[in-house]
A and B are shown apart, each in its own frame.
Chain A
Amino acid sequence: MTTLEFTIVVWLGSFLAGFLGALTGLGGGVVVVPMLVLLLGVDIRYAIGASLVSVIATSSGAAAAYVREGYSNIRIGMFLEIATTVGAAVGALIAAKVSGGAIGFVFGLVLLYSAFLSRHDPSKHFVNKPPDALATKLRMNSDFPGADGREAYNVYQVPGGFGLMFGAGMLSGLLGIGSGAVKVLAMDQVMKIPFKVSTTTSNFMIGVTAAASAGVYLSRGYIDPRLAMPVMLGVLAGSLVGAKVLVRANVRVLRYVFAIVIAVLGIEMLYNAVTGKL
């Protein structure tokens, strides 16, 4: 392919990935990397470098819209970012040490897990426990705009959430994805933070987490501007359009279809990793 053809194909694919990523809440990274690796034969290190950059664009681009709604909790986000940034730096260092096949193998597993997760609806939990001492000391308990005025919520199990966030950061640094699914899992399931607060705070954290591994990727030569340019612009445009459509669309069916696509990509990624094609 010539540079021009390649750029256009990558832009279109990235647009689609960003669009679907926004609609399903999985983010563009989990689709962009397999697309580049499996369909266009890009080396996985270049693919995760370009994907990571697009992850920052999506996170920062969507933030302005999210803050207006007043759901995200800046204290929870900032505290947990200690874990995600250190994890991301460690993950990026591991990515530099292991083979492309090993990265592909872990990526395949994460795709299968994402496919499994995306079939589920967000959980609703009502907690009637006294406030957690550590969360209170860290001033994490807050409120968010509910149906009738501001609804207060308490945060629990800070150490557990912090530990899982380290894992989320590592995955992000290793695979060049936002790993928003794991971040939401840590906040929603472990720390019992309301789902809407979890997702918006996670979006905020994704950009900071990705920036921590971007430095390592840059000095390792994973970020190729010729590839990152169409990926970043495509995913960003796709995710902005996706976020607009999301307000009106019924995403249940789409999420189901998307889960199957992700699962197929995951199996193919695992197959290629095991047979040494990556």
Chain B
Amino acid sequence: MTGTQASWNDQRIEQIIGVLLRVGVSLSAALVFAAGIAYLWQNHAVRVSYQQFHGEAAELTSVAGVVRGAASLDALALMQLGLLILIATPVARVLFAAFAFALEHDWLYVVVSLIVFAVLMATLTGWVV
């Protein structure tokens, strides 16, 4: 591709999306791992059981709550933040695709991408519960 002006074709869009996804996953895995080590350091000897379901504490069930907890450097909230970054990678991918389709003047697929994005936002903001 050297020497030529890279155009906005599908192949190039997908390559950028691939890099975007990989960066997101790496960032997420690194944060979850580091926060996980910190959590285990503090709680390694605590007995655990997941046989009864009782949901999570309110701080861990919303984007705002997780960000607040992570800001106070709580290990559990930092792990959850890493997982949220992971969940955000495909969302970013859809948004980027909408943007790239707009550069191609493919308005039909701009609309398609934005519909998918709207569905994702509806569930992630807790609007659909």
Contact = CB atoms under 8 A, between A and B. Distances in A.
A2 B51 contact: no
A74 B97 contact: yes
A219 B109 contact: no
A226 B48 contact: yes
B56 A81 contact: no
A214 B120 CA distance: 9
B33 interface: yes
B50 A46 contact: yes
Nearest to B106: A139
A260 interface: no
| SS class, residues of chain B in contact with chain A | helix
B6 interface: no
Interface in A125-144: 138-139, 142
Contacts of A122: none
A208 B94 contact: yes
B123 A89 contact: yes
Contacts of B113: 78
B108 to A, nearest CB: 7
A92 interface: yes
Contact of B79 (A41, A100, A212, A229): A229
Contacts of A216: 123, 128-129
B67 interface: no
Interface string A218-248: 1111111111111011001000000000000
A116 interface: no
Contacts of A218: 61-63, 84, 87, 124
B86 A60 contact: yes
A65 B93 CA distance: 16
Interface string B6-33: 0000110111011101101100110011
Given A46-B50, A229-B36, A3 B83 contact: no
A219 B129 contact: yes
Q: Classify chain B: how many residues form its interface, as a range.
A: 35 or more
B108 A227 contact: no
A211 to B, nearest CB: 4
A65 B56 CA distance: 35
A70 B11 CA distance: 7
A3 B43 contact: yes
A115 to B, nearest CB: 26
Nearest to B44: A4
A74 B104 CA distance: 13
Given A219-B126, A220-B55, A210 B90 contact: yes
B87 A211 contact: yes
B125 to A, nearest CB: 7
Contacts of A227: 50
Interface in B68-83: 76, 79-80, 83
A51 to B, nearest CB: 12
B44 A224 contact: no
B115 interface: yes
B40 A43 contact: no
Contacts of B11: 70
A53 B50 contact: no
A225 B48 contact: no
B116 A81 contact: yes
Contacts of B43: 3
B99 interface: no
Interface of B: 10-11, 13-15, 17-19, 21-22, 24-25, 28-29, 32-33, 35-36, 39-40, 43-56, 60-63, 76, 79-80, 83-84, 86-91, 93-94, 97, 106, 108-109, 112-113, 115-116, 119-120, 122-126, 128-129
10 contacts: A41-B50, A42-B50, A60-B22, A64-B21, A64-B22, A72-B14, A218-B124, A221-B54, A226-B39, A229-B35
